[in-house]
Structure 1
């Protein structure tokens, strides 16, 4: 994830924590007499998180209008009001003062609204005066709407956009390759494009370039159909802009939800399983062959960065272990190794990777660096797999695409499922994949060798 997006996510996390702290401090300071007050704090915190997630309460962008924030606040507090008074009946709290509970609610409305508008106005002022927290942008095309967008970038300094250049799409002047080189050389973050005057293959090349280089591409609509992928419709001042459907895990609330699940799941696995299994595996592996208990292999992960992926060693030490994938009846695999590979026990140390933060329980499986280098330019949208953390298991694996890659079609099918996962992530999908993985381990898998 680009640095600007990470900063944006951090700001939203801080805002959410500040809201939770405010709500809990108000609950503690008011004389609302609960039968079991210690229960109220986790209840109100969890309710706030769930409502915020469902309402996208923290999805406020630099171009968001004040009217939209008012809608967010209204929607948030309607559900909060219902949840607050539902607590009385659900947990049977007859002694609670309805008056003080109402005062508590009104104070939450005032405090959270003040915090949200203060942050919104402060960031607009900060970007305008300090010229910091800027997004570098270019536009492609020259027409009325595009020119209006350029005026927005130049005049609305509080939005925090640094306009670099406008490219004409006339056949005599437009050079797509030169434009893309300009984006890389000048560290452009976002590309705004009118599809008027562009060929279909140029649009496709532009989208593929954005996916591969972690850039954001958005379109100013005209009457030409773009493509079938879902689009988001936004307004920059009064200029309509279309952006590609946002990857779910780029939304901070989704990312926090998945990361929380990863931490809880990996911690339980390490404490309840690996704490006693690791010493046992160390003895068994060492008795059969010399070498370390853990096998460490570097692979490309999130944001295309290298990380060390850990496994229980299942092979005798060999020079080709980092480049050559295990094949059927591979002579390098030990007797213990065949068993732990068949049952996927060799992958269990990757829960340490999950806890450290460079892997997830579910995600696209990290490939050998050789395979990554071979297929990054062969398969369309290959780089989209690296928009999320790699996983111990994944959708492609439960669909049968695991183990040895024998043909290019094997890799294409694997990447196809990986891309579907990245673009359609949900916690329910993760749980479904984990459940299917357990079933596959119990039944045994043909390509687990």
Structure 2
């Protein structure tokens, strides 16, 4: 909300944060090549290197990810944004320096520099956030607000604005046709909506007004808007969607027409898709070129010894936008006619002892990195389901098909939060779908890294639902 309507104060914070980021970045860069054997050729001066790195950092979109001044900013959001900044900076600078051949960009020193930069900038931004929140708790940089309306979303807004004193909001009360018992006693009744302008004229310190009157009240709303526009009061309209929507929505526009999307999907933004696809290519490419050949040889030998048939198992599954693709796995079962219809169960007679070991350790899933490299899957995302399951469950579970708005993954949020394996009852699949939709709406690069870490940890310890 306030991110799109930055005040001069907010812009000052953004530019101040970026200046601090660049100071930290260049200081760490200077320290790194001062104590290292050097990774610059004689053809590149220190000044050129500092300038190129600074430009790469600014081009990475760092300005758009300064969120610490937001009233509801959290430390994990700051960490995620700093991680994205450093990741994109490393990609851009890597392309620039590798193409010139004048800098040893793939070196221990440069990797250490990126890691220390991430942590230092994160700590710097969190400290700044704490200072800003302290400043607001002392009554500085406060937004003085009133609410016009008494619908359920007005009350929810009041609670959001006042639950944390450090967010910097002070709500003086609300206007409605009559006092409402929906509001807590701490929220003062100020009068009828038609009395709003007269009250604002007497209380000129108000700088934010939130209006939830229905459009039929246009004769009351338009004068309030005109007054706010002419007296430096920010006017916000609150659409009352609670009658038919109970999830978060996102606002965009097509030309001058405002459009509400049913759910927030960060991967609709091209820069986020670029980050995710770049990571998928790098991660899967490194794995396929290093560990996978060794694993393949071991699996192939043991599979051929323990059971007849092919080493790989491929099965049609539903992917992005419900498009079908062949998903690859190491074969863990005897060749059977039910492979495309029946899920594996705990004591499934189709499994071999070696197949059971592969499933317990998730080794059977590793060929899916081929799907990732091809672009059919992602490292992290909702697990792809068999065609038969998609056909059946899409009729039984509300919003089941939402999971196909993103690419399926080798691992996913549902899998690391207890919904891996056989879905014995409908509620098990419903839990998995809820987790998939939560992941789609809350995607961050940092969340993907956390899921990968949890997946590896679970594989090491073993999972009771992996069978």
Q: What's the TM-score once normalised by structure 2's chain length?
A: 0.51
- Contact 1:196/1:224, CA 8 A, preserved across alignment: no
Give the secondary structure class of the aligned counterpart of 1:316: coil
Give the secondary structure class of the aligned counterpart of 2:313: strand
Deviation for aligned residue 1:238? 5.8
- Contact 2:248/2:264, CA 8 A, preserved across alignment: no
Name the counterpart of 1:290. Answer: 308
Looking at structure 2, the residues matched to 272 and 40 of structure 1 have their Cα atoms a distance apart, in angstroms, of 35
* Match runs of 1:286-435 below 5 Å: 286-435=304-453
Deviation for aligned residue 1:225? 4.5
CA RMSD of aligned residues (A): 3.0
Looking at structure 2, the residues matched to 408 and 435 of structure 1 have their Cα atoms a distance apart, in angstroms, of 29
Of 266, 270, 280, which residue of structure 2 is paired with 1:262? 280
Give the secondary structure class of the aligned counterpart of 1:376: helix
Deviation for aligned residue 1:309? 0.4
Name the counterpart of 2:142. Answer: none
Give the secondary structure class of the aligned counterpart of 1:421: helix
Q: Do the aligned partners of residues 328 and 49 (structure 1) sit closer, same or farther apart at CA in structure 2, a change above 3 Å counting?
A: same
- Contact 2:372/2:379, CA 8 A, preserved across alignment: yes
Looking at structure 2, the residues matched to 438 and 378 of structure 1 have their Cα atoms a distance apart, in angstroms, of 32
Deviation for aligned residue 1:40? 5.3
Q: Do the aligned partners of residues 233 and 344 (structure 1) sit closer, same or farther apart at CA in structure 2, a change above 3 Å counting?
A: closer
Name the counterpart of 2:186. Answer: none
Looking at structure 2, the residues matched to 369 and 238 of structure 1 have their Cα atoms a distance apart, in angstroms, of 41
Q: Do the aligned partners of residues 34 and 446 (structure 1) sit closer, same or farther apart at CA in structure 2, a change above 3 Å counting?
A: same
Q: Do the aligned partners of residues 51 and 321 (structure 1) sit closer, same or farther apart at CA in structure 2, a change above 3 Å counting?
A: same
User: CA-to-partner distance for each residue in 1:97-140, whole Å, 9 max, x for gaps?
Assistant: xxxxxxxxxxxxxxxxxxxxxxxxxxxxxxxxxxxxxxxxxxxx
Looking at structure 2, the residues matched to 414 and 235 of structure 1 have their Cα atoms a distance apart, in angstroms, of 32
Give the secondary structure class of the aligned counterpart of 2:290: helix
Name the counterpart of 1:54. Answer: 65
- Contact 1:301/1:390, CA 8 A, preserved across alignment: yes
Q: What's the TM-score once normalised by structure 1's chain length?
A: 0.53
Q: Is the aligned partner of 1:44 residue 2:62?
A: no
Number of equivalenced pairs: 261
Q: Do the aligned partners of residues 52 and 377 (structure 1) sit closer, same or farther apart at CA in structure 2, a change above 3 Å counting?
A: farther
Where do 5+ consecutive residues of structure 1 fail to align? 1-31, 57-78, 88-194, 198-219
- Contact 2:266/2:441, CA 8 A, preserved across alignment: yes
* Match runs of 1:113-132 below 5 Å: none
Q: Do the aligned partners of residues 288 and 222 (structure 1) sit closer, same or farther apart at CA in structure 2, a change above 3 Å counting?
A: closer
Q: Do the aligned partners of residues 46 and 280 (structure 1) sit closer, same or farther apart at CA in structure 2, a change above 3 Å counting?
A: farther
- Contact 1:294/1:311, CA 8 A, preserved across alignment: yes
- Contact 2:380/2:412, CA 8 A, preserved across alignment: yes
Looking at structure 2, the residues matched to 342 and 430 of structure 1 have their Cα atoms a distance apart, in angstroms, of 22
Looking at structure 1, the residues matched to 356 and 241 of structure 2 have their Cα atoms a distance apart, in angstroms, of 56
Where do 5+ consecutive residues of structure 2 fail to align? 1-42, 68-84, 94-213, 217-236
Looking at structure 2, the residues matched to 238 and 336 of structure 1 have their Cα atoms a distance apart, in angstroms, of 61
Looking at structure 2, the residues matched to 281 and 446 of structure 1 have their Cα atoms a distance apart, in angstroms, of 22
Looking at structure 2, the residues matched to 391 and 416 of structure 1 have their Cα atoms a distance apart, in angstroms, of 16
Q: Do the aligned partners of residues 310 and 52 (structure 1) sit closer, same or farther apart at CA in structure 2, a change above 3 Å counting?
A: farther
Q: Is the aligned partner of 1:35 residue 2:53?
A: no
Name the counterpart of 2:153. Answer: none
Once superposed, which parts of structure 1, at least 4 consecutive aligned residues long, lie more than 4 Å away?
A: 36-43, 220-226, 234-241
